[in-house]
């Protein structure tokens, strides 16, 4: 069987890093992208050393040129993109009152516009081949209320709405669209103090990555649409 090609954005740390690993170990050809090259190269070298197929490409999800040239490089090397894991994301923990416009722009340009650009780049190929899977990493903040996360929630709720419409539009091409909505995950998105204090209340990035892989491993005619994942003890 030919290996499936998976592009994971935001793969330098956290959920994306673990997702790149679990897909590579499951036999996918993985393209790990983010801005921090040294972390990607280390990840990919470890995977290659263990006999897996993985490549690192620097890609700033805010830049249309960077996203489309990444897509082009993947296609040139591997011929097609079967799965896009739209994972790159940022946040700040601030009230709306205290949030500055550049902070708003940075969150929206990464989480919402960045995801839109990555989807736009892979979609024509998927439509042509009449198959593909777009997996968006959202958050329970997309549809729950957490103070000091207004802009982040807005970006994730926007992506949820966009993604739901996209799913309806691309069903006819056999393209699957999955929304992953995790609660608190122990990653560098949280500052060290919070991570130390609540480590036992948070899920691990590996646990989320394993579930992301599971959504990609469903039978052809099945799509896991929305996957809400919370720590057993609930939100922080």
Q: Is 134 in the site for ligand NAP (CB under 6 A)?
A: no
Q: Which is nearer to ligand NAP, 35 or 73 (CB)?
A: 35
- Distance separating the N- and C-terminal Cα atoms of the chain: 43
Q: Is 227 in the site for ligand NAP (CB under 6 A)?
A: no
CB of 135 to ligand NAP, least distance (A): 11
List the x/- string, 52-91, binding to ligand NAP by CB under 6 A: -------xxxx------------------------xxxx-
Q: Is 179 in the site for ligand NAP (CB under 6 A)?
A: no
Q: Which is nearer to ligand NAP, 16 or 154 (CB)?
A: 16
Q: Which residues of 29-54 are buried (b: 16+ CB within 10 A; e: fewer)?
A: bbbbbbbeeebbeebbeebeeeebbb
Q: Which is nearer to ligand NAP, 51 or 234 (CB)?
A: 234
Q: Specify the stretch interacting with ligand NAP by CB under 6 A; choose among 43-51, 181-189, 191-199, 219-227.
A: 181-189
Q: Which one, of 1, 2, 7, lies nearest residue 24 by Cα?
A: 7
Contact criterion met (CB below 8 Å) for 187 and 236? no
Which residues carry out catalysis? 152
Helix (H, G, I), strand (E, B) or coil at 81: coil
Contact criterion met (CB below 8 Å) for 115 and 159? yes
Backbone conformation region of residue 63, classed left if phi is above 0, alpha if psi is from -120 to 50, else beta: beta
Neighbours of 142 (CB within 10 A): 22
CB of 72 to ligand NAP, least distance (A): 17
Helix (H, G, I), strand (E, B) or coil at 84: strand
Q: Is 149 in the site for ligand NAP (CB under 6 A)?
A: no
Q: Is 16 in the site for ligand NAP (CB under 6 A)?
A: yes
User: For ligand NAP, which residue of 5, 6, 24, 34 counts as binding (CB under 6 A)?
Assistant: 34
User: For ligand NAP, which residue of 5, 7, 10, 30 counts as binding (CB under 6 A)?
Assistant: 10
């Amino acid at each position: 069987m030919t290996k499936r090609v998976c592009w994971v954005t935001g793969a330098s740390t956290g959920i994306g890093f673990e997702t790149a690993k679990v897909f590579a170990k499951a036999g996918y050809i993985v393209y790990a992208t983010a801005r921090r090259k040294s972390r990607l190269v280390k990840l990919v070298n470890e995977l290659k050393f263990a006999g897996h197929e993985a490549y690192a490409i620097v890609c700033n999800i805010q830049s249309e040129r960077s996203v489309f040239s990444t897509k082009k490089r993947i296609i040139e090397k591997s011929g097609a993109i079967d799965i896009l894991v739209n994972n790159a994301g940022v946040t700040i923990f601030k009230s709306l009152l205290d949030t500055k416009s550049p902070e708003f722009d940075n969150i929206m340009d990464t989480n919402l516009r960045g995801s839109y650009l990555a989807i736009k780049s892979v979609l024509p190929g998927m439509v042509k081949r009449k198959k593909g899977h777009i997996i968006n990493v959202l958050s329970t903040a997309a549809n729950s209320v957490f103070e000091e996360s207004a802009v982040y929630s807005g970006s994730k709720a926007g992506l949820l709405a966009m993604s739901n419409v996209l799913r309806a539009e691309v069903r006819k091409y056999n393209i699957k669209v999955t929304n992953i909505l995790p609660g608190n995950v122990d990653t560098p998105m949280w500052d060290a103090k919070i991570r130390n204090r609540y480590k036992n209340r948070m899920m691990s990035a590996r646990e989320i990555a394993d579930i992301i892989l599971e959504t990609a491993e469903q039978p052809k005619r099945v799509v896991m649409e929305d996957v809400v994942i919370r720590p057993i003890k609930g939100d922080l």
